[in-house]
Amino acid sequence: MEEKYLFYQLNRCTGCQLCVMACSLARSGVCGENESLISILTHPQFGTSQPIIEETCIWEQCDKQCVQVCSPGVLYLAEKKDWGGLLLKQHWNPVPVFVREEKQ
């Protein structure tokens, strides 16, 4: 199995949340931030947005619904052989990873 990782383009995310809804629907059949492995952070002062992914996203097999619904082309699920080239380009970054803490 080819190892893949989700990259994003800087300053392209509109914060529309379509990727969040698409991931959630594909995984659980409902629309909800808690069911999605991708989240969007929007800066409260500047309004800039960027995706982050839950750690599980790295290992879970999927049909990359988040990439498919993102019309500005922010997201790219890159094969390992392409990681080095993407990291050399200033506008591509690996999507940061977070660990979701269970609510008590």
Instruction: Point out which residues bind ligand SF4 (CB under 6 A).
Output: 13-19, 40, 49, 51, 69-70, 72, 74-75
In the complex, least distance from residue 82 CB atom to ligand SF4, rounded to whole angstroms:
19
CA distance 19 to 8: 12
Please state the closest distance from residue 61 (CB atom) to ligand SF4, in A.
20
For the CB of residue 71, give the shortest distance to ligand SF4 in the complex, in Å: 7
Shortest Cβ distance from residue 104 to ligand SF4 (Å)?
29
Q: What is the DSSP string of 28-61?
A: HSS--GGG-SEEEEE-TTT--EEEEEETHHHH--
Residue placing its CB nearer to ligand SF4 in the complex, 71 or 104: 71
Residue of 55, 53, 76 whose CA lies nearest to 64:
76
- The amino acid present at 6, given as its one-letter code, is L
Nearer to ligand SF4 (CB atom), residue 49 or residue 93: 49
* Cβ proximity to ligand SF4, 58 vs 69, nearer residue: 69
- Residue 86 CA to its chain's centroid (Å): 16
